[in-house]
């Protein structure tokens, strides 16, 4: 790994060593005669805060490890700007995320097939690639993988509040599920985390590090790709800013693959003259390829925290003291065990907020502490909370250029809460969460409600609370969507190839046609594993249809 780019021929250039890029680098270099260059704008993943699961808030808020993006003021959220950090380090956002190991619902991928017309993107064709990607601590089965690169551990659930959460869900009338990534997503139960032997299992750790010694792989860090080189309707290489601001050109004999994520990928395409002509001309950029869908269709998950004080001193509040942090850190350093070896998202749930949903549209992450995602603690006492958010929002936003200068952040406008359905689902979700917390399982622990607070009662007050406090769950996606050739907003085909331009693919979460029902790291890894086979000309893994839970009375009952 070095900062200067060796002057040699490459078959493939991959831009971005994140959740997708590291997977591609591994799989493409399995073919010894294929030469791959992997470019990463950030540095090495050396920080202990990356690898220590409980320290996740540090890399997320460190500008040396993550792009510190913010949205435009959100008109439907009291004009607030939302913090949208994205990984700027080997492993990308898989090195800074909350390590929630979630596949999404099988119907998400059936929807992808319906939306795009590409039958091989349905659930039966995606499931084998989820299985290929993971190494679950409980082993593999028809639904799960037992021998893949990505670690998956089930929550230990030692804190009694985790048990109270699942039991309260059962008391409220919801099912309990043994595996949210298996037959039945719906219900309350243990969450799985992308952790292996007490360490974060990022794609840098799981996919890239084991193959750094391959002679056909070159990895260059601190290399900011400023544009894709296009000659005669074909992508032939990239222009890269390296140490000292010097620009270097490097060429690909076969393809350039952009895996820079849902914000930087459309930015790079537009800087390269690929996108909406009006947008490009406004910044004095040439129009190489007219694709108005570049940067459109932006989707994200929002969430709010429902927080209670805890009447017993059993929460993680006590672990916030400096001496306690030192003990936790020392145990993790020596043994990779203890509170440092978990992201603490060990229990959660998926529910339907109303009749008429065939599969869950609300996701929960439960934590035995009242705390913000950035690590700040708004309360001065023991507490617990549920992160609650709708999973298939109907609001759509955009990523556009601020200027033609590659150093400028893109303009990010997710247009959050712009539809009545999104507002209603949050409103219903707050009420349903309060109902769960009111169950007898929490009687030994329940103190006052800290957030929204007892003064928030009416629908209007709940809506105002959501506008004031909802935050991103850090799942931006869909900004270079996959779609059929006659879809004017489609950017890539079913193999990730950019329309009307040879030699260029996009492979990352930006090509999702719609956002999956859950966290996005595993779906991104899955789609990359699948497209790596396409790139290599390999036969796809055999489709594996498996039964999927669906409530018989979903049309008439909420639970």
- C-beta atoms surrounding 103 within 10 Å: 29
The alpha carbon dihedral of 409, 415, 417, 421 has a sign of negative
Q: Look at phi and psi of residue 287 and say left if phi exceeds 0, alpha if psi is from -120 to 50, else beta.
A: beta
Tell me the C-alpha to C-alpha distance, in Å, between residue 256 and each of 196, 504, 505.
32, 5, 6
Q: Which of 83, 123, 475, 542 is catalytic?
A: 475
CA-nearest of 82, 81, 479 to 291 is: 479
Report pLDDT for 421: 98
CA geometry: angle at 287 spanning 284 and 288, to 5°?
A: 140
Spatial distance between the Cα atoms of 80 and 94, rounded to a whole number of angstroms: 26
CATH topology of domain 156-190+302-390+417-469: Cholesterol Oxidase; domain 2 (3.30.410)
pLDDT in tens, 340-375: 999 999 999 999 999 999 999 999 999 999 988 776
Spatial distance between the Cα atoms of 537 and 28, rounded to a whole number of angstroms: 11
Spatial distance between the Cα atoms of 60 and 117, rounded to a whole number of angstroms: 37
What average pLDDT does range 268-281 have in this prediction? 98
Q: Is the pLDDT of residue 1 over 60?
A: no
What average pLDDT does range 221-236 have in this prediction? 97
Spatial distance between the Cα atoms of 18 and 24, rounded to a whole number of angstroms: 10
Spatial distance between the Cα atoms of 144 and 132, rounded to a whole number of angstroms: 9
pLDDT in tens, 503-559: 999 999 999 999 999 999 999 999 999 999 999 999 999 999 999 999 999 999 999
Report pLDDT for 155: 78
Report pLDDT for 7: 82
- Asked if residue 15 lies in contact with residue 21, where contact means CB atoms within 8 angstroms, the answer is yes
Q: In the chain, where are the structural domains located? A: 1-67+85-126+201-295+477-537, 156-190+302-390+417-469
pLDDT in tens, 289-300: 999 999 999 999
Yes or no: domain 1-67+85-126+201-295+477-537 corresponds to CATH 1.10.10.10? no
Tell me the three state secondary structure of residue 187: strand
pLDDT in tens, 28-41: 999 999 999 999 99
Whole-number average pLDDT of the chain: 96
Q: Look at phi and psi of residue 245 and say left if phi exceeds 0, alpha if psi is from -120 to 50, else beta.
A: left
Whether residue 101 lies in the annotated active site: no
Report which DSSP code applies to 207.
I
Report pLDDT for 535: 97
Report pLDDT for 305: 97
Spatial distance between the Cα atoms of 461 and 467, rounded to a whole number of angstroms: 10
What average pLDDT does range 60-81 have in this prediction? 98
pLDDT in tens, 394-429: 999 999 999 999 999 999 999 999 999 999 999 999
Report pLDDT for 243: 79
């Amino acid at each position: 790994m070095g900062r200067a780019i060796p002057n040699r021929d490459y078959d493939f250039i991959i831009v971005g060593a994140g959740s997708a890029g590291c997977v591609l680098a591994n799989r493409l270099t399995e073919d010894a005669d294929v030469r791959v260059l992997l470019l990463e704008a950030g540095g090495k993943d050396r920080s202990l805060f990356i690898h220590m699961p409980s320290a996740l808030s540090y890399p997320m808020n460190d500008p040396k490890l993550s792009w510190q993006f913010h949205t435009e003021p959100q008109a439907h959220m009291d004009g607030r700007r939302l913090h949208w950090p994205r990984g700027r380090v080997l492993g990308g956002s898989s090195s800074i995320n909350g390590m929630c190991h979630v596949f999404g619902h099988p119907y998400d991928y059936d929807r992808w097939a319906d939306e795009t017309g590409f039958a091989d993107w349905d659930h039966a064709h995606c499931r084998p690639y989820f299985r290929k990607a993971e190494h679950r601590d409980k082993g593999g089965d028809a639904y799960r993988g037992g021998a893949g690169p990505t670690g998956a551990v089930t929550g230990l659930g030692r804190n009694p509040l985790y048990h109270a959460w699942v039991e309260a869900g059962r008391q409220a009338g919801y099912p309990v599920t043994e595996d949210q990534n298996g037959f039945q997503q719906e219900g309350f139960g243990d969450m799985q985390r992308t952790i292996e032997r007490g360490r974060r299992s990022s794609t840098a750790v799981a996919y890239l590090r084991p193959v750094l010694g391959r002679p056909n792989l070159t990895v260059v860090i601190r290399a900011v790709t400023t544009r894709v080189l296009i000659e005669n309707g074909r992508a032939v290489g990239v222009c890269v800013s390296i140490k000292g601001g010097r620009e270097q050109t490097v060429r690909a004999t076969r393809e350039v693959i952009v895996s820079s994520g849902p914000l930087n990928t459309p930015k790079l395409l537009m800087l390269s003259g690929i996108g909406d002509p009006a947008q490009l001309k406004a910044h004095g950029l040439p129009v190489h390829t007219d694709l108005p869908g570049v940067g459109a269709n932006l989707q994200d998950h929002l969430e709010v925290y429902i927080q209670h004080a805890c009447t017993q001193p059993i929460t993680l509040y006590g672990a916030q003291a400096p001496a306690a942090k030192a003990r936790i850190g020392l145990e993790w350093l020596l043994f990779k065990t203890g509170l440092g070896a978990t992201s603490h998202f060990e229990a959660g749930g998926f529910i339907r907020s109303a009749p008429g949903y065939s599969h869950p549209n609300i996701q929960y992450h439960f934590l035995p502490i009242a705390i913000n995602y950035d690590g700040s603690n708004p309360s001065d006492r023991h507490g617990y909370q549920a992160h609650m958010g709708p999973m298939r929002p109907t609001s759509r936003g955009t990523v556009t250029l601020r200027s033609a200068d590659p150093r400028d952040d893109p303009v990010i406008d997710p247009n959050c809460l712009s539809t009545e359905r999104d507002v209603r689902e949050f409103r219903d979700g707050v009420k349903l969460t309060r109902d769960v917390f009111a169950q007898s399982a929490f009687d030994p622990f329940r103190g006052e409600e800290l957030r929204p607070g007892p003064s928030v009662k009416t629908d209007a007050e709940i809506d105002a609370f959501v506008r004031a406090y909802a935050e991103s769950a850090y799942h931006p996606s869909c900004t270079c969507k996959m779609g059929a050739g006659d879809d004017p907003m489609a950017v890539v085909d079913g193999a990730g190839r950019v329309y009307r331009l040879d030699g260029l693919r996009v492979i990352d979460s930006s090509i999702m046609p719609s956002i999956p029902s859950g966290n996005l790291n595993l779906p991104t890894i899955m789609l990359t594993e699948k497209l790596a086979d396409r790139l290599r000309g390999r036969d796809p893994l055999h489709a594996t249809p498996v039964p999927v839970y669906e409530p018989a009375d979903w049309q008439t009952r909420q639970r």
